Amino acid sequence: MSDEFIGFNVFISGSGKGLGRSTSIHLAKRGARVGVSDIDGEACDETIRLIREGGGEAYGFICDLSDRAAFHHAVGEFARKVGPLDAMINNASILRYEPIENVTPETLDLMLGGGLKTVMWGTQALLAHMNPEKGASIINYASPVSYRGYPNTAVYSAVKGAVLSLTRVMAAELGPRGVRVNAVAPGSVPTPGATAYVGIEEYDRRAQSIPLRRLGRDEDNAAAVAFLLSRDATFINGAVLNVDGGIVAAG
Ligand SMILES: NC(=O)c1ccc[n+]([C@@H]2O[C@H](COP(=O)([O-])OP(=O)(O)OC[C@H]3O[C@@H](n4cnc5c(N)ncnc54)[C@H](O)[C@@H]3O)[C@@H](O)[C@H]2O)c1
């Protein structure tokens, strides 16, 4: 276990599975105390188990983070255990691909809740539980769809476009308070959420067309998040780091 993030308190939304889980484990291995939170209780417990098995420190909060009161309560409890927060990682989101005419009010509410409200409530919760003298950091999860029009991704793309806008607004609004706000935009990582919609053949096709000729990996994104949170990034604010092997650049 390295010690770069010893004494660093980070809360990660949607960290029961996928990139949230791997980033939690990565930061805990480097010394951070991690608040793990997910609507999926079993997945949340498993992330906690994996972190503790590796000698890390983590606390679990099973709740629907689209609920403002629930998010604030979870972060308040985490801060009560570990002290003021140093970072919030707004990772939770719900992936669903479908033609525009199939989008129902339920889908829209669910995806706006899981992918957009969580970013707003996570940011508010950080502001309420950080040390204003010390400052803090926020990482939002954008996507290649934030920049381009991919058919059948209307709600997901709208959510990720909004996350990109919010990153810029928050960087401008919160920078003067010592809060850096950046985003990572992962490309094609076969996580549980993604593989429910993207099959093996499509992943093979993508791996051939991505400039670096491979899919994204959990560790690519965890390392990018760790860099943006680190002492090496203290003047980086409002940036979006494309962790995508060149997908966005190639178009
Ligand atoms: N996997 C990729 O290729 C990819 C590409 C671009 C962007 N991203 C982004 O990266 C982030 C992580 O993606 P992933 O692929 O690991 O997703 P995932 O679906 O595998 O995991 C997301 C987690 O968020 C949780 N969650 C969703 N709504 C919640 C809510 N309301 N309250 C609490 N927890 C909730 C889910 O239960 C799940 O455990 C997301 O923001 C996603 O949009 C992923």
- Percentage of the chain exceeding pLDDT 90: 98
Ligand 1 contact, 244 CB (< 6 A): no
45 within some domain: yes
CATH of the domain at 150: 3.40.50.720
Which numbered atom of ligand 1 lies nearest the CA of 216? 3
Query: Which atom in ligand 1 lies closest to the alpha carbon of residue 14?
Result: 24
69 in a structural domain? yes
Pocket test for ligand 1, best of 11, 46, 90, 95 (most atoms within 8 A of CB): 95
First-to-last alpha carbon distance for the chain, in angstroms, is: 39
Spatial contact of 21 and 99, defined as CB atoms under 8 Å apart: no
Q: Note the pLDDT tens digit of each residue in 124-142.
A: 999 999 999 999 999 999 9
Residue 4 phi, psi dihedral angles, 5° rounding:
-55, -35
Residues 6+ apart with CB under 8 A from 34: 10, 11, 12, 15, 24, 27, 28, 51, 56, 57, 58, 59
Mean of the per-residue pLDDT values for the chain? 97
pTM over cut 0.95:
yes
Number of structural domains found in the chain: 1
Would the CB of 188 count as within 6 Å of ligand 1?
yes
153 Cβ inside 6 Å of ligand 1: no
Q: Is 97 tagged catalytic? A: no
219 within a domain of the structure (yes/no)? yes
How does pLDDT run across 61-72, given as a tens digit for each residue? 999 999 999 999
Q: Averaged over 23-36, what is the pLDDT?
A: 98
Radius of gyration of the chain (CA): 17
Residue 32 lies in a domain: yes
Examine residue 2 and state whether it is found in any structural domain, yes or no. Answer: no
| Residue 29 structural domain | 9-250
pLDDT for 3 equals: 80
Please report whether residue 147 resides in a domain. Answer: yes
Q: Which atom of ligand 1 is nearest to the CA of 156?
A: 43
pLDDT at 1 over 70: no
From edge to edge, which strands make up the β-sheet containing 240-243? 57-62, 33-38, 9-13, 87-90, 136-141, 179-186, 240-243
- With a CB cutoff of 8 Å and minimum separation 6, the contacts of 230 are 4
Residue 4 covered by a domain: no
**pLDDT at position 251:** 84
Ligand 1: which of 90, 166, 191 to mutate, judged by most atoms within 8 Å of the beta carbon?
A: 191
Distance 243 CA to ligand 1 centre (A): 16
* pLDDT above 70 as % of the chain: 100
> pLDDT (tens digit, 9 = 90+) per residue, 75-111?
999 999 999 999 999 999 999 999 999 999 999 999 9
For residue 207, is it within any domain? yes
pLDDT in tens, 146-198: 999 999 999 999 999 999 999 999 999 999 999 999 999 999 999 999 999 89
For the Cβ of 40 lying below 6 angstroms from any atom of ligand 1, the answer is: yes
